[in-house]
């Protein structure tokens, strides 16, 4: 199975000097850390996915803004701006993905001093223990040991392929992150702490419903093979009990922003043309001529293509978005397309 990988940042971790200056200037002005005049706490999330989670928890008592919200953009290659630094510096609470995904924000915050922050990605060791307990899979550290030679044996690769930062596809992590957001908001406004925890509880119930649907897929479609053009939905694929047959070298190259080798492209095209996979999971936000060719091959061979993205479409919240993606996956696997 294709396992944990991380994309090279291709400039996304870069922090311009102007952004540092902007953050420092705002911080020195003494305006950060204060709630708005209407009493609402200001929450800034690095992506609209985590912004939606914060809104679900805080409701009408928070003002939530996201930095990356373009459904057509690739967040991996995002470059920060002075405006981003200003947003982060003025926030009462910052919600990060972590795991190197939004490193630009970590650097901005590091330049401007301490600020209440929730980071969804807390380290693969903790996630690995959870994964083994919840899904019956081996711990991530054992996975990493098994694939260490493969992941680091590719010439020219200098990135850590032992983790997957797309933790918003891990429903357990999303539920835990919502609870931690409620804790932090409650610390900032103790008089509203119960309302924040109630919001997290309601959101948790919705996530529980999504988890039930994923478990249903695992019960009925367990072991079915899929191909991914980029492992954005790795944790969802794992939880659904599916087998990812994408060549590891192909995934590593796409994650690093490189062109996959001719051999790995031929391998994945052969898998598509011979209809080895029940579905192809396609990330349109990391699209390239190579991934487009994989999609075209799947469509020509009547293999269902399921789009799974990095950020929310406009006018959708996290639960509605994830529910739609789970539905699309289930439909594809059951051959109802």
Contacts 24+ apart (CB under 8 A), 215-218: 215/239, 216/330, 217/241, 217/242, 217/326, 217/329, 217/330, 217/333
User: Would you say 309 and 229 are in contact if contact means Cβ atoms under 8 Å apart?
Assistant: no
C-alpha–C-alpha distance, residues 122 and 86, integer Å: 26
Per residue of the chain (337 residues), what is the pLDDT tens digit?
433 333 433 344 344 444 444 444 444 433 344 455 688 999 999 999 999 999 999 999 999 999 998 887 778 778 889 999 999 999 999 999 999 999 999 999 987 768 999 999 986 534 444 433 333 333 333 333 333 333 333 333 233 445 799 999 999 999 999 999 999 999 999 999 999 999 999 999 999 999 999 999 999 999 999 999 999 999 999 999 999 999 988 988 887 778 899 999 999 999 999 999 999 999 998 889 999 999 999 999 999 999 999 999 988 999 999 999 999 999 999 985 4
So what's the pLDDT on residue 162? 57
Measure the CA angle with vertex 206, ends 62 and 119; round to 5°. Answer: 50
CB 18 within 8 A of CB 282: no
Exposed, middle or buried: residue 28 (CB in 10 Å: 0-12, 13-18, 19+)? exposed
DSSP secondary-structure letter at 64? E
Distance of CA 303 to the CA centre of its chain: 25
The pLDDT assigned to 22 comes to 42
Angstrom distance (rounded) from CA 234 to CA 53 = 20
């Amino acid at each position: 199975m294709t396992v944990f990988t991380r994309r090279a940042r291709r400039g996304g971790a870069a922090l311009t000097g102007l952004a540092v200056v902007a953050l420092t200037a705002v911080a020195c002005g003494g305006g950060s850390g204060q709630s708005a005049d209407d009493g609402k706490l200001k929450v800034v999330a690095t992506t609209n996915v985590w912004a939606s989670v914060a809104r679900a928890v805080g409701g009408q008592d928070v003002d939530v803004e996201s930095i990356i919200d373009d459904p057509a953009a690739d967040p991996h290659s995002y470059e920060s701006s002075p405006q981003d630094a200003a947003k982060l510096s003025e926030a009462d609470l910052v919600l990060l993905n972590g795991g190197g995904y939004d490193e630009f924000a970590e650097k901005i915050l590091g330049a401007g001093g301490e600020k209440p922050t929730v980071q969804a990605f807390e380290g693969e060791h903790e996630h690995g223990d959870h994964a083994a307990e919840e899904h019956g899979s081996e711990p991530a550290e054992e996975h990493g040991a098994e694939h260490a030679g493969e992941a680091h044996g590719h010439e020219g690769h200098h990135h850590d392929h032992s983790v997957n930062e797309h933790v918003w596809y891990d429903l357990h992590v999303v539920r835990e992150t919502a609870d931690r957001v409620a804790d932090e908001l409650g610390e900032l406004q103790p008089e509203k702490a119960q309302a924040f925890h109630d919001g997290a509880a309601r959101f948790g119930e919705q996530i529980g419903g999504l988890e039930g649907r994923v478990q249903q897929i695992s019960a009925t479609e367990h072991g079915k093979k899929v191909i991914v053009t980029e492992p954005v939905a790795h944790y969802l694929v794992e939880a659904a009990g599916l087998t990812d047959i994408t060549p590891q070298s192909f995934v590593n190259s796409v994650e690093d922003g490189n062109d996959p080798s001719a051999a790995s492209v031929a391998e994945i095209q052969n898998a598509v043309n011979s209809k080895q996979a029940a579905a192809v999971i396609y990330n349109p936000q990391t699209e390239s001529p190579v991934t487009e060719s994989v999609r075209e091959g799947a469509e020509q061979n009547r293999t269902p293509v399921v789009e799974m993205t990095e950020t929310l479409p406009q006018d959708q919240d996290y639960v509605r978005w994830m529910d739609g993606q789970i539905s699309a996956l289930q439909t594809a696997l059951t051959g109802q397309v």
